[in-house]
Structure 1
Amino acid sequence: MGDARGPSAAVAAVAALFVNAFVWGVSWWPLRELHALGLHPLWSTALVYSVSMLIVLAARPGAVRAFAREPLLWLLVAACGVTNVGFNWGVTVGDVVRVVLLFYLMPAWSVLLAWPMLGERPTRPRLARLALALAGVAIVLRPDDVPWPVPRGLADWLALSGGFSFALTNILLRRLQRLPTESRILAMFGGGAALAAIAGCVGIAHGVAQAPAGTAWAPLALGLGVAFLASNVCLQYGAARLPAHTTALVMLSEVVFASFSSVALGAGELTPKTVLGAALILAAAAWAAWPARDGDCAQGAQSAP
């Protein structure tokens, strides 16, 4: 991935990445509004990604051919689906700051997944980043009344599973980089749509999700879909013109956007314990994104989720 050419091109690329991070950082608000209007976040996800998937199919119908010869694309479908289900549902029902922080354990999970899937042995810096991130999550997770850091509800589990799947998604994208871009994008959108719809049906059957009610949510759902599509265009523009480590560092601003917007609107809380844990998690993520030396390859970041 080459550097941006010229100062103006670099500024435009960074600005595009900030737009992408902002859209995902504040996406919790429209998802909660849609939920209040009768559209569960699982159905919001299924609807938005179905529209995106259909647009890709209309523009590049040949994108489906790769699925017949590359089984790992189906694993990418599943990983992207779990990522989006975990993130979108988690920020709707949980403390947004806490969910986003737990989700951004992605660089730590990447250390564990890169060895079996990419043959990248954990180096000392990578193990140090893993320890730093896990120390941060232990601080965030540990309740005041128990000695061990344990997830305290559905939102925590959704965030952790989504972050792990996000790491798997990034690993798979590296494994599948030889495939046409449209096939990988189709797998990502298709996974988001299919897994959310399946989870929605299962959730209705078990009483943990509701079927869509009314149509008052339609305009906002359409607007959110357009915003997600625009943010992905911004990601493709910015990431194609900047080094991977720069992209990863800029994308950490998503945590800032999510934290400040949720605290300002009463959907998140910044306790001293959360701030300390956040500092460790973000330090590990920034360290992972920093230009590497001595063979410790920097990890690029894809857009969440």
Structure 2
Amino acid sequence: MDRARLWGVAFLLVTAVGWALNWPTIKFLLAVWPALFSRGVAGVTAACLLGLLAVSRGESLHVPRRLWPRLGMAAFTSVFAWMGFATVSLNLISVAEAALLVYSMPVWAMLLAWPLRGERPGARALVALALAVAGVALLLSGQKSLAGRDQMLGVGLALAAAVLFAWGTVANPKPLPLPPLAQTAWVVGVGCAPMIVLGLLFEHPQLGALTGAAAASLVYMTLVPMGVCYLSWFAALRRLPSGIATITMLLVPLLGTLSAAAILGDPFGLREGGALALTLGGVALALRGLSAPARERASDPDGA
């Protein structure tokens, strides 16, 4: 393997580990700070930092008027719905349950491609769906607490995050004609700003509660998954085929679940391991059936 590919693999590992550790970090932070406000503050701060970095690299932050509808849609599906709904779901279900549910989005993308783009699902899509459904069913089996309304709401939010992200991927297959850092800054900022407003209106965050480890968690959530990891992701894509990069990102829910078990004490046994294997197998099969641009977008989120 040449040096460029070795660096690409290294950047991929940085991305996967950084995004994976964000799952238990958010779960820990939610014990003292509300979900939407936490995510909104971290996202808007990261967007400002990415914007400054983009300008320092000579990228223009100008967005033509004709692109604002597409940018707004991308911000809603890939940030507000993906990050917001997934984060709120962590108040109600475990990291393992949330991570597997939201990372099923490539399966939904394959299915949504039929009504939205006329791409009839073939045998690959049906097998991928069967594996993913079997994995989720295995994960949720034996969870008696899921009979509760709050737990079912958590499952619904996680699935909504996955489906809406997939819908955005299929409905807008062409990337925005903007520089990568500038695009990321705008999409993350526009998607996270409403979370701050909703958090102030409905969650009433207590600033005094953010001390010690909780403050460090917010700093991590701001700088690493939405800063360092996006930079390393783009760096990896410049050195490796997009197919390899996107399939490798299946490490995120796996490492996220394992780290939550180690850091937070979340349960992880044969049932969780089997569910991971089935669901990620289905997701991997679905990713192989997507076109290259859609495949790249289907694994671009920051992990939660």
TM-score, normalised relative to structure 2 = 0.81
Question: Partner letter of residue 153 of structure 1?
Answer: M
Q: How does 1:106-145 map to 2 (within 5 A)?
A: 106-143=105-142
Aligned with 2:268: secondary structure?
Answer: coil
Query: Is structure 2 residue 22 aligned with structure 1 residue 7?
Result: no
Instruction: Judging by fraction of residues, say which structure has more helix.
Output: 2
Question: Partner letter of residue 157 of structure 2?
Answer: L
Question: Partner letter of residue 226 of structure 1?
Answer: L
Aligned with 2:61: secondary structure?
Answer: helix
Question: Partner letter of residue 221 of structure 2?
Answer: L
Cα deviation, 1:8-63, whole Å, max 9, x if unaligned, reads: 21121112111111112111333234334x32232221111111222344444843
Shift of the 77–91 alpha-carbon distance from structure 1 to 2, 3 Å rule, reads same
- Distance in 2 separating the partners of 1:179 and 1:227: 23
Higher relative contact order (CA 8 A, sep 6+): 2
Shift of the 62–10 alpha-carbon distance from structure 1 to 2, 3 Å rule, reads closer
Shift of the 93–138 alpha-carbon distance from structure 1 to 2, 3 Å rule, reads closer
| 1:224 aligned residue | 221
Q: How does 1:129-278 map to 2 (within 5 A)?
A: 129-143=128-142, 152-171=151-170, 174-182=173-181, 184-201=183-200, 204=202, 209-214=203-208, 215-216=210-211, 217-228=214-225, 229-278=227-276
Match of 1:17 among 6, 12, 16: 12
Aligned with 1:175: secondary structure?
Answer: coil
- Any stretches of 5+ residues in structure 2 without a counterpart? none
Aligned residues: 288
Shift of the 195–259 alpha-carbon distance from structure 1 to 2, 3 Å rule, reads same
- Distance in 2 separating the partners of 1:177 and 1:138: 36
Match of 1:45 among 39, 42, 56: 39
Shift of the 262–76 alpha-carbon distance from structure 1 to 2, 3 Å rule, reads same
Shift of the 56–10 alpha-carbon distance from structure 1 to 2, 3 Å rule, reads same
Aligned with 1:162: secondary structure?
Answer: helix
- Distance in 2 separating the partners of 1:8 and 1:122: 39
Deviation at 1:106, TM superposition (A): 0.9
Deviation at 1:283, TM superposition (A): 0.6
Cα deviation, 1:155-175, whole Å, max 9, x if unaligned, reads: 322321222233234336632
Aligned with 2:133: secondary structure?
Answer: helix
Shift of the 152–35 alpha-carbon distance from structure 1 to 2, 3 Å rule, reads closer
- Distance in 2 separating the partners of 1:174 and 1:233: 22
- Distance in 2 separating the partners of 1:187 and 1:121: 34
- Distance in 1 separating the partners of 2:158 and 2:278: 17
- Distance in 1 separating the partners of 2:181 and 2:200: 28
| 2:96 aligned residue | 97
Shift of the 223–100 alpha-carbon distance from structure 1 to 2, 3 Å rule, reads closer
Query: Is structure 2 residue 264 aligned with structure 1 residue 288?
Result: no
Question: Partner letter of residue 229 of structure 2?
Answer: S
Aligned with 1:174: secondary structure?
Answer: coil
Whether the 8 Å CA contact 1:108–1:134 is kept in 2: the answer is no
Cα deviation, 1:92-139, whole Å, max 9, x if unaligned, reads: 552111111111111111112223444433222123212221232233
Q: Percent identity?
A: 24
